[in-house]
Amino acid sequence: MNIRPLVSSLSALAISVALLPLANFPAQAQMVMRFTTPFVTDSGFVGAAGNMHYITLAVTGFSLESATISLPIDMGRSIDVKAFDPNGKEIPTTTKVSPGGVTIDFNQPVEANTYVRLQLSGIDMSRMGGRVLYRVTTKLEGVDGDIPIGSAMVRLKEQG
């Protein structure tokens, strides 16, 4: 009887068992996210009428001076925009509506490490159902130019 294969197998098993504590089980993957500019965190509509949309921005990295929201071509331009802090308190702003969108200038820059909820009321669309896509750009304190920070998609009220 050849005992060599048995000794080899037992040796390999002994080495494996001896090295097992060195392995770090279970293996876990970690992902660290460090945002350096504001970004869109949430969007949707408020109320059953569907004529009020909101976009929530996480303000990170730099203070936020203004935000511009592009408006779809078939959306009316009689929109009113208000900004709110995380506690629901209105933030003083000045708004400018143009053919391309609406710009919200904050009277005082919004400090980093907070959230801002932009609420658009008076939404008037020539279509019912589907989705509307808002592109959002910002101006940040100490940074030249407009910074695109993301898109917000809102489902439109279905006809019926």
pLDDT in tens, 57-104: 999 989 999 999 998 887 776 788 999 999 999 999 999 988 889 999
39-155 under CATH 3.40.50.1220, yes or no: no
Q: What is the pLDDT of residues 118-146, one digit of tens each?
A: 999 887 776 666 788 999 999 999 999 99
List, as own/partner pairs, every contact residues 41-47 make where C-beta atoms lie below 8 angstroms and the sequence separation is at least 24, other chains included: 41/115, 43/134, 43/152, 43/153, 43/154, 44/154, 44/155, 45/123, 45/154, 45/155, 45/156, 45/157, 46/119
The pTM of this model reads 0.76
Domain ranges of the chain: 39-155
